[in-house]
Amino acid sequence: MSVLIETSKGDITIDLHTDLCPIACKNFLKLCKVKYYNYCLFHNVQPGALIQTGDPTGTGKGGESVYRMLHGEQARYFEDEIHRSLRHARAGTVSMASSGPNTNGSQFFITVADEQDHLDDKYTIFGEVAEGMEVARAIAAAYADADGRPYQNIRIRHTIVLDDPFDDPPGLEVPDRSPEPSALVLQQDRERLAEDETLEEDEERPA
């Protein structure tokens, strides 16, 4: 049960705890399947701590669960799945990012350092990095503003579901191709350095 995340810095493979956290894992797998995460920014990077993504708005305030797509606004968020056997003890822990108890939507974070026990019992741990920790650490080290947003946009380009034990629920609309960049994505790339742009190129942009 795993997913390959292709980012503008390289690939990260995540193995999922489907037995312990089926609600979070199903949400993640189906959002990956419908290409929900394509073009999502890593909007919060903290060197020596974590990287966060999964919000299509890029603000850290957006995102919704797959259950919202299937069942309406009342299912926008889903409940926590906290287990004492799952701790933020090792770098590469993958957890839901939330604003409080039972407010899980689409955002998630990956730790890049060991022994982050201050995160335990607050965030649902649903996976771990199997390959690509060097990519996660490179993202965490990106030059960023005071809010942790990199000055050069770092994005999820594609997600590839490698193994999914869950049947697709009725009503899940799976696209037959990856989406084109939205107007918001293009705007974000005008506001900051695009993922394939250098500082020199930015200085040559017309005002």
Residues paired with 7 in a beta bridge: 10, 156
| pLDDT, position 156 | 98
**CB burial of residue 16 (10 Å; 0-12, 13-18, 19+):** buried
Contact 92, 136 (CB under 8 A): yes
Reported pTM: 0.93
Q: Give the residues of the chain that fall short of pLDDT 50.
A: 207
Contact (CB, 8 A) for 181 and 58 = no
Supply 44's token pair.
């919060």
How far is C-alpha 158 from the chain's CA centre? 11
pLDDT digits (tens, 9 = 90+) for 135-190: 999 999 999 999 999 999 999 999 999 999 999 999 999 998 999 999 999 999 99
